[in-house]
Amino acid sequence: MKKEISTIVLLFMLLAYPSGSSIARNEDSTTIKTNELVLSADKIASLEKLVKSLSKLKIGGYGEAVYSRNFYSDNFNRYSQPETYDGKGYHSRVDLPHVTFFLGYEFGKGWRLNTEIEFEHGGTESAVELEAEEAGEYETEVERGGEVALEQFWIEKTFNGSLNLRFGHIIVPIGYTNGNHLPTQFFTVYRPAGENTIIPCTWHETGISLWGYLGKHWKYEVQVVPGLDSELFSRDSWIKNGSASPYEFKVANKLAGVVRLDNYSVSGLRLGVSGYTGQSFKNSIKPSQASKYNDVKGTVYLGSFDFDYKGHNIIARGYFDYGHLMNSKVISSYNKSLSKYSPSPRTNVASGALCTGVEVGYDIFSKFEKLQAEKKKLYLFGRYEYYDSMYKTDESIVKSGWTKRQIYVGGLNFFPIKDIVFKAEYSAGILRKGYNNENSFSLGIAYAGFFN
């Protein structure tokens, strides 16, 4: 190891000094000489220590840039007055859905750190300006919307392959997309619409995780995380926004449990099941103290099955998620009574929601020996999704018909190298009769990988 590090130091010096410099090392290895510099043993040791530390550092990330042409109106009245916006309001958009950076470090003795910071839709841009035309008043200018989020920040201790403890801000592995949200892990330009609509995606919470491998074919994970906030539930995205917090902290009056199990018995195939349960009512900063709500729990139950397969130049992925919310009638009534200044959407909430999706792609380049040797890939893919954020409702709650939809997608993914992909797709969004379909054409470029 010492010899390898010393070699790295020599290479470092070759890069650091001009090509005309001469480098020599004395026989007792106490100094390294160039025509411009002499390094002592202490300096050599310091450089070797730096190189060793850097070798424990992992840097990576992923990002997406997209263009969409949407063949429907985005007016907020398009569902309440569909006839008015039939065939009108076509529009185009460019976006940076996610740009993320990973930073990890191996401390040694089984201890490691991992962080992930994400800029959604370009992040936030704001500035304070001195406005001359407004009597010299200070004015805050918001130049762009977006979000910046710390999606992961955890410390982990590995005891052995079957026992790992993770503490901190972690990904909640419910469904397919939360555990496979890199843009190289799905064919569509945007993340799968169903899971990205009714459950948090990417779902991250501060909690504790116990995970590991059982034998050759099984992987498990068990988590304890804060419960969701029912005040943030809504008719169009069900419980998705319940993991968010409009405050500088996350309320954790209620806790939730998460379980996931994956099987790898068949070569190239992974089968996974996951589940979540936790109370959501009164898990807010200002919960009601009224006695009529004493027995209201707002328990959320989620169950999911997902899979992926890679083999014979085919990639196939799919999932099915179903969720149930207790006390949805009370929660709907309570949320609609909240102040208009509260962060709640103040809409009805369904007692049940579901989503399912499957995609299959075939590598066309596998038929061409030269392209296959260059490890370039071109996947022709198709995808189907169905989801409904108001699949089941209390009899007193009127369903919103536009929340139920099917999506058919066809397109191409071109990988010039493993970590970069160009995407193109046409998507047909089919809504119930009486509403306008939402079709679109999208292009995207994305990367995902480690830089060292």
User: Are 90 and 71 spatial neighbours (Cβ–Cβ below 8 Å)?
Assistant: yes
- Is the four-CA dihedral 94, 98, 101, 102 of positive or negative sign? negative
User: Are 87 and 45 spatial neighbours (Cβ–Cβ below 8 Å)?
Assistant: no
Rounded to whole angstroms, the Cα distance separating 68 from 91 reads 8
User: Are 206 and 166 spatial neighbours (Cβ–Cβ below 8 Å)?
Assistant: no
| Phi/psi of residue 197, nearest 5 degrees | -105, -45
**Model's pTM, two decimal places?**
0.86
| pLDDT at position 286 | 87
Beta-bridge partners for 217: none
| pLDDT at position 143 | 58
Cα–Cα nearest to 450, from 149, 101, 169, 166: 101
| pLDDT at position 295 | 94
- Six-digit token string for 346: 């103040």
Q: How many CA atoms lie within 13 A of 70 on its CB side?
A: 15
Domains in the chain with CATH codes: 1-55 (no CATH), 60-450 (2.40.160.10)
User: Are 219 and 210 spatial neighbours (Cβ–Cβ below 8 Å)?
Assistant: no
From first to last of its 452 residues, the chain has per-residue pLDDT tens of 445 545 555 555 544 554 444 445 555 555 555 555 566 777 777 777 777 777 889 999 999 999 999 999 999 899 989 999 998 889 999 999 999 999 999 999 999 999 999 998 887 766 555 544 445 455 555 555 677 888 999 999 999 999 999 999 999 999 999 999 999 999 999 999 999 999 999 999 999 999 999 999 999 999 999 999 999 999 999 999 999 888 888 999 999 999 999 999 999 999 999 999 999 999 998 888 899 999 999 999 999 999 999 999 999 999 999 999 999 999 999 999 999 889 999 999 999 999 999 999 999 999 999 998 999 999 999 999 999 999 999 988 988 889 999 999 999 999 999 999 999 999 999 999 999 999 999 999 999 998 87
